[in-house]
Chain A
Amino acid sequence: MPEPDSVARWELAAGGKTKRALAPTANEQEVVQLFDELRSRLLRYLLALGLPAQDGEEVIQEVFLALFQHLQKGRSRQNLRGWIFRVAHNLGLKRRLARARETTGALASQEALAAIRSDPAENPEERLLSNQRYQRLQSVLRALPEQDQWCLTLRAEGLRYRDIAEVLDMSLASVSASLGRSLARFSRVDVNHGC
């Protein structure tokens, strides 16, 4: 029986006279399950690459259609989540290049940054300090090499080091060195501003 929101697909039954709805195949179901699991994480990553949300959504559609073809051809099912992030990373960079975006490594727009963390429990001064601190963190982030930003973002989205190495085509040692270097800079953000 088809799901309520599924698109009805029909085929002629054996007699050729009647029609019946086709249930989604196992591969379709698996792709949709992975979409449900990973879509938000992928979209955050693509936004962090500097893509607008609409482009990010289109890239994600391409990624999961490519995954479907991959499964239909009986190709490797080993570490599909890593495969998905790798294809999303590559397609995202291509899309960004096509958009000719000059904001190298921008993780969010200034407008979005200004809007963050407006906790109503904070008084205006606390809110300003809080936002100032986030702006300092944002500055630290922007000052990092782009690949270090990608490592941090992928790690924040739950990827293990081996997956990050595969997505970004780096060695494991380079991933850990990148994360160690970046987090050390973050940990010094308050020290450097006398907090």
Chain B
Amino acid sequence: MPHPDDHLSDQDLVLAADGELTPRRDAEVRAHLSACWQCRARMRGMEGAIADFVQLHSATLDRQLPPAAGPRAQLKARLAENAPQSAVPRRLVLAQAALGLTLAGVAIALVLYLVPRPNTASVPRPQLTPGAVRPVIKSDVCAVSGNQALVVPVALQRRVFEEYGIRNAQLDAYEVDYLITPELGGASDIRNLWPQPYSSTVWNARVKDALEERLHQMVCDGQLDLATAQHDIATNWIAAYKKYFNSSRPRQN
């Protein structure tokens, strides 16, 4: 905003003091200052104000700073906990992974063969519940606070139970839950709903709620992009919990 009588604005003065003007504008401002006593006095006032604020800021806050050694050691310990735990050669890792996958495949096939359906667990079956999202962006999901309950219509709940082969007599043992929570853009779609058993004692709905809240917060803080949050919770919410809480077990509140 131009100053009255064509003097320099406060904004120009502070930009000049901070070296933030373009070279051309800087030359104009310097030329004006050399000719104008009034603006030079105001410039000195600005520089005095900067000195006053810096002194006030430091004098008020410096004495409240605790020593850094403790927090530094704590950070190093937490980084060490979170760092990759193994330096095993990549080829060996791949071989181990292939062997692990083969064994896991055999184990899953055995479980599917031996255990009668319906077979529900703390995680949904990906072929029935891959997750589905609404066309939203970060500002949409951050406009609402996390963990707001959204009731699944009864008719839709019935369809979910049918899809998972759950008989009417067992309905009260489950909660139909969103895989990708609506607060992260999850859709009210059968592909995004599954019957979560109340019998899960460790990885239960309360733990998943905590993850949903954490992911919502991280997305809105700019620490995580929305697509990654949706992907991770849809792929395996328990693995996502472990990843984002840096914990192999649910944390106690």
Q: Enumerate chain A interface residues (CB-CB to B < 8 A).
A: 5-7, 9, 11, 22, 24-25, 27-28, 31-32, 35-36, 39-40, 43-44, 47-48, 53, 57, 60-61, 64-66, 68-70, 72, 86-87, 90-91, 94, 107-108, 112-113, 115-117, 134, 137-138, 141, 152-153, 155-156, 160-161, 176-177, 179-181, 183-184, 186-189
Contacts and interface: CB of A to CB of B under 8 A. Distances in A.
A64 B52 CA distance: 31
B9 interface: yes
Contacts, number: 160
Nearest to A52: B64
B68 interface: yes
Please provide the 7 A-B residue pairs with the shortest distance between their CB atoms, ordered closest to farther.
A186-B49, A187-B45, A180-B10, A180-B11, A187-B49, A108-B60, A184-B10
Contacts of B9: 180
Q: Which of B48, B52, B59, B222 has the most CB of A within 10 A?
A: B52
23 contacts: A5-B73, A7-B77, A7-B80, A9-B80, A9-B83, A9-B85, A11-B85, A28-B79, A31-B79, A32-B76, A39-B72, A44-B61, A47-B65, A68-B79, A70-B223, A107-B60, A112-B60, A134-B59, A153-B57, A155-B18, A156-B57, A176-B20, A179-B14
Contacts of A155: 18
B13 interface: yes
A112 B83 contact: no
B76 A5 contact: yes
Contact of A141 (B56, B71, B84, B220): B56
Given A112-B64, A134-B56, A137-B52, A91 B221 contact: yes
B86 A32 contact: no
B91 interface: no
A40 B83 contact: no
The range of chain B's interface size is: 35 or more
Contacts of A187: 42, 45-46, 48-49
Interface in B89-123: none
A171 to B, nearest CB: 13
B237 to A, nearest CB: 18
A97 to B, nearest CB: 11
A87 B76 contact: no
Contacts of A186: 49, 52-53
A155 B218 CA distance: 26
Contact of A183 (B10, B60, B78): B10
Contacts of B77: 7
A183 B79 contact: no
A27 B221 CA distance: 22
Contact of A66 (B46, B60, B72, B223): B223
A33 B63 CA distance: 23
Contacts of A31: 75, 79
Given A7-B77, A156-B53, A180-B14, A113 B60 contact: yes
Contacts of B14: 176, 179-180, 183
B86 A39 contact: no
Given A43-B65, A57-B71, A176-B20, A87 B222 contact: yes
